[in-house]
Structure 1
Amino acid sequence: MSSLPRIAVIGGGASAVCLLDALVQERDLRPGVITVFEPSRHLWRGRPYQPDLEVVRVNATPDDMSVRAGDNQHLAEWLTTRQLFVGGAAAYTDPLSGSHFVPRAVYGDYLEQSARAALMTLLQRDWRVELVRQRAEYATPAANGGLKLHTARGDVHEVDYAVLSVGAGRPADHYSLAGQEGYLMEPYPVGRTLSAVDPEADVAVIGSGLTAVDVVLALNATGHQGKIRLFSRRGVLPGVRQKQIHHRLRYFTPAHFRGVAARGETRTLQDLVTLMSAELAAAGESIEAVRAEIDSLRTEDPIVRLRRQLGEVDSPSIGLRILQQAVPDAGPDVWPLLTEQDKNALLQRYDRALMSLCCPMPPGNAAVLLSLVESGQVELVNGLEGVESVPGGGFHIGTARGDHRSAVVINATNARMRKVNELAAPLVNSLVAAGLAEPHPRGGVHVERATSRLTVGSTPNPRLYALGDPAAGSLFFTFGVQSLVDRAVDIVRAIREDSAVLTTGHDVLQSA
Structure 2
Amino acid sequence: MSRGFSIGIVGGGAAAVCLIDALARARGGPGSVTVFEPSPDLWRGRAYQVDTETLRVNATPDDMSVRAGDPGHFERWLAARDRATGGPAEFDPWSGVRFAPRTVYGEYLEQTAAAALADLRRQGWQVNLIGEPVTAADRGPDEVVLRSGRGGVRSFDHVVLCVGGDRPQDGYGLAGAAGFVADPYPVLGRLRQIDADDHVAVLGSGLTAVDIVLSLAAQGHRGPISLLSRRGVLPGVRQRPIPFELRHFTTERLRSLARRRRHLSIDDLGALMRAEFRDAGADLDAAMADLAALGREDPVARLRRQLGDVDSPAMGQRILQRAVPETGPDVWPLLRPRDQAEVLRSHYRTTMSLCCPMPPGSAAALLRMFDSGQLANRSGLRSITVRPDARFDALTGTDAAVTADTVVNAVNAAEDRIPAAARPLVDSLVHGRAADRHPYGGLHLERATSRLTVDGRPDPRLYGLGNIGAGALFFTWGVPSLVDRSVDIVAAILDHSAELDAARAADVLVST
- In the TM superposition, residue 510 of structure 1 has moved relative to its aligned partner by 4.9
2:390 alignment counterpart = 393
Distance 1:339 1:211 in 2: 32
1:236 alignment counterpart = 233
Output the aligned Cα RMSD: 1.4
Query: Are 1:354 and 2:341 an aligned pair?
Result: no
- In the TM superposition, residue 337 of structure 1 has moved relative to its aligned partner by 1.1
Indicate which of 250, 253, 261 corresponds to 1:256. Answer: 253
Distance 2:18 2:255 in 1: 22
Aligned length: 509
In the TM superposition, what are the counterparts of 1:277-296 in structure 2 within 5 Å?
277-296=274-293
In the TM superposition, what are the counterparts of 1:183-222 in structure 2 within 5 Å?
183-222=180-219
8 Å CA contact 1:123, 1:129 repeated in 2: yes
Structure 1, residues 320-357: CA drift from partner, whole Å, max 9, x if none? 10111111111111111111101111222221112112
Identify which range, 252-261 or 154-163, moves more after superposition.
Answer: 252-261
1:505 alignment counterpart = 503
SS at match of 1:328: helix
SS at match of 2:264: coil
Query: Are 1:139 and 2:165 an aligned pair?
Result: no
**TM-score for both structures, normalised by structure 2:** 0.97
SS at match of 2:254: helix
Distance 1:432 1:453 in 2: 14
- In the TM superposition, residue 360 of structure 1 has moved relative to its aligned partner by 0.3
Query: Are 1:425 and 2:423 an aligned pair?
Result: yes
8 Å CA contact 2:14, 2:44 repeated in 1: yes
Distance 1:416 1:26 in 2: 35
In the TM superposition, what are the counterparts of 1:275-424 in structure 2 within 5 Å?
275-401=272-398, 402-415=400-413, 417-424=415-422
Assess, with a 3 A threshold, how the Cα gap between structure 1 residues 361 and 409 changes in structure 2: closer, same or farther: same
- In the TM superposition, residue 89 of structure 1 has moved relative to its aligned partner by 4.5
Distance 2:423 2:2 in 1: 29
In the TM superposition, what are the counterparts of 1:83-94 in structure 2 within 5 Å?
83-91=82-90, 93-94=91-92
- In the TM superposition, residue 416 of structure 1 has moved relative to its aligned partner by 5.9
- In the TM superposition, residue 176 of structure 1 has moved relative to its aligned partner by 1.8
Structure 1, residues 53-104: CA drift from partner, whole Å, max 9, x if none? 111100001001000010000000001111111133422x001000000000
Assess, with a 3 A threshold, how the Cα gap between structure 1 residues 465 and 169 changes in structure 2: closer, same or farther: same
Structure 1, residues 270-296: CA drift from partner, whole Å, max 9, x if none? 111111011011000111121012112
SS at match of 2:127: strand
2:80 alignment counterpart = 81
Distance 2:3 2:462 in 1: 18
2:15 alignment counterpart = 15
Distance 2:283 2:88 in 1: 37
Distance 1:70 1:287 in 2: 30
> Runs (4+) of structure 1 moved beyond 3 Å?
262-265, 416-419, 507-512
1:455 alignment counterpart = 453
**TM-score for both structures, normalised by structure 1:** 0.97
Structure 1, residues 146-187: CA drift from partner, whole Å, max 9, x if none? 211001211001011111111112111111212211111111
Query: Are 1:167 and 2:194 an aligned pair?
Result: no
1:68 alignment counterpart = 67
8 Å CA contact 1:199, 1:225 repeated in 2: yes
- In the TM superposition, residue 251 of structure 1 has moved relative to its aligned partner by 0.3
In the TM superposition, what are the counterparts of 1:37-52 in structure 2 within 5 Å?
37-52=36-51
Query: Are 1:469 and 2:467 an aligned pair?
Result: yes
2:175 alignment counterpart = 178
8 Å CA contact 1:168, 1:416 repeated in 2: no
Structure 1, residues 461-484: CA drift from partner, whole Å, max 9, x if none? 111111110000001211110000
Identify which range, 465-474 or 268-277, moves more after superposition.
Answer: 268-277
8 Å CA contact 1:294, 1:354 repeated in 2: no
Gaps of 5+ in 1: none
Structure 1, residues 423-463: CA drift from partner, whole Å, max 9, x if none? 11110110000000000111000001000111111111111
8 Å CA contact 1:37, 1:133 repeated in 2: yes
- In the TM superposition, residue 264 of structure 1 has moved relative to its aligned partner by 4.1
8 Å CA contact 1:167, 1:421 repeated in 2: yes
Assess, with a 3 A threshold, how the Cα gap between structure 1 residues 377 and 255 changes in structure 2: closer, same or farther: same
SS at match of 2:245: coil
8 Å CA contact 1:455, 1:461 repeated in 2: yes
Distance 1:296 1:149 in 2: 49
- In the TM superposition, residue 418 of structure 1 has moved relative to its aligned partner by 4.7
Distance 1:421 1:258 in 2: 32
8 Å CA contact 1:231, 1:381 repeated in 2: yes
Identify which range, 497-506 or 478-487, moves more after superposition.
Answer: 497-506
